[in-house]
């Protein structure tokens, strides 16, 4: 066999090196394996029939049935209260809370009424931040307990030195694609707990997935136009549970448990507009600072 010339050998070696440089490595060893998705373990034991009857929390605060057009169905609002607060009372007692995308103040008020010491709401739409302050004032919560910051949540969290025991990220994860900024901002608050309530059409699929969607910034409950928006459209993502676990892991948080939506829907005859929770496309997840919880 003819011997390969030095020139051909060098060209081959160069091509092989270029191939390796251009392609991402696939077989390298990871120090931290991606978190596994054990939905059964996160969902906890089955609750006893009858144990998940709703308290109809918002009947005491009926202004919230009128001050927004977003997610308003009475049953939905009241069952969400049980999933977000009723199941997590222990973390709200005496806590300082940050409510991301605080809207009309519904969950800021719920946090205070469930035992929180103080709440900071962050809301991009000024008319909603004003409505929230008015709603809270009408129910007796003044500036000593609650304040609303008008601004882009990513920006506010990264530029202001806000601290909290609990961060609420309710109905917001699917109105952004800026996950690094958001999670870095949440990490900077030093929160021990984070509650996420969110939707994905692929929520329970085992592989991390972020579903991309275009929203229009002129709709009340949707993403606002921000520094990266081109034209009227805002590019947002809807991460599923596996993607949320991966993102949280990158910032040393993890999902501790999922709220018992199956029990809530079993035990309450009024459940209008809760199909997304019933189909497990929407979840309420209690997350914890892994560095503290696992220490
Ligand atoms: C679907 S609503 C959720 C309201 C409430 N948190 C809930 O779960 O019922 C989304 C809210 O996010 C607000 N929002 C959208 N983009 C935002 C941003 N970049 N920073 C802060 N708030 C934003 C909207 O104005 C709206 O009030």
- Tell me how far apart the alpha carbons of residues 188 and 199 are, in angstroms, rounded to a whole number: 25
Q: How far is the CA of 15 from the centre of ligand 1 (A)?
A: 51
Q: Which fold has domain 44-201+241-293?
A: Rossmann fold (3.40.50)
**pLDDT value at position 8?**
75
Measured from the Cα of 197, ligand 1's closest atom is: 8
Q: How far is the CA of 167 from the centre of ligand 1 (A)?
A: 14
Burial 4-31 (b: 16+ CB within 10 A, else e): eeeeeeeeeeeeeeeeeeeeeeeeeeee
**Which residue CA neighbors atom 15 of ligand 1 most closely?**
223
Q: How far is the CA of 39 from the centre of ligand 1 (A)?
A: 27
Measured from the Cα of 125, ligand 1's closest atom is: 25
Q: At what angle do helices 241-250 and 179-188 cross, to 10 degrees?
A: 50
Mapped onto helix, strand or coil, the DSSP state of residue 145 is coil
Show me where the domains of the chain are located: 44-201+241-293
Ligand 1 in reach of 124 Cβ (< 6 A): yes
Q: Tell me the β-bridge partners of 238.
A: 211
- Residue 196 phi/psi, 5-degree rounding, is -115, 130
Q: Are the C-beta atoms of residues 111 and 127 closer than 8 Å to each other?
A: no
Ligand 1 in reach of 101 Cβ (< 6 A): yes
- Block mean pLDDT (10 aa), the chain, length 295: 67 68 57 66 85 96 83 87 98 98 98 98 97 97 98 97 98 98 98 98 97 89 90 95 98 97 96 95 98 85
**pLDDT value at position 1?**
44
- Tell me how far apart the alpha carbons of residues 135 and 131 are, in angstroms, rounded to a whole number: 6
Which pair of structure tokens corresponds to residue 59? 């009947």
- The predicted model scores a pTM of 0.90
Which pair of structure tokens corresponds to residue 181? 């900024």
């Amino acid at each position: 066999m003819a011997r390969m010339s030095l020139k051909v050998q060098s060209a081959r070696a160069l091509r092989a090196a270029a191939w390796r440089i251009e392609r991402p490595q696939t077989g390298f060893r990871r120090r931290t394996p991606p978190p596994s998705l054990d939905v059964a373990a996160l969902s906890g034991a089955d609750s006893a029939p009858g144990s998940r009857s709703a308290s109809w929390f918002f009947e005491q605060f009926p202004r919230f049935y009128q001050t927004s057009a977003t997610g308003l169905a009475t049953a939905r609002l009241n069952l969400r209260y049980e999933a977000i607060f009723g199941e997590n009372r222990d973390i709200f007692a005496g806590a300082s809370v940050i409510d991301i995308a605080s809207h009309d103040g519904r969950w800021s008020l719920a946090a205070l009424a469930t035992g929180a010491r103080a709440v900071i709401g962050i809301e991009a739409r000024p008319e909603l931040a004003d409505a929230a302050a008015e709603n809270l004032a009408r129910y007796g919560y003044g500036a000593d307990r609650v304040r609303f910051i008008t601004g882009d949540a990513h920006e506010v969290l990264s530029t202001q030195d806000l601290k909290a025991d609990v961060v609420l990220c309710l109905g917001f994860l699917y109105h952004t694609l800026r996950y690094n900024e958001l999670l870095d901002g949440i990490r900077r608050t030093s929160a021990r707990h984070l509650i996420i309530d969110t939707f994905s059409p692929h929520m329970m699929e085992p592989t991390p997935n972020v579903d991309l969607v275009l929203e229009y910034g002129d709709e009340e409950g949707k993403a606002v136009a921000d520094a990266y928006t081109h034209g009227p459209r805002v590019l947002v993502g809807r991460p599923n549970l596996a993607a949320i676990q991966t993102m949280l892991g990158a910032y040393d948080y993890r999902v501790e448990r999922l709220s018992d939506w199956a029990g809530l829907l079993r035990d309450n005859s009024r459940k209008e507009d809760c199909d997304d929770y019933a189909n497990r496309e929407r979840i309420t997840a209690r997350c914890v600072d892994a560095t503290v919880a696992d220490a």
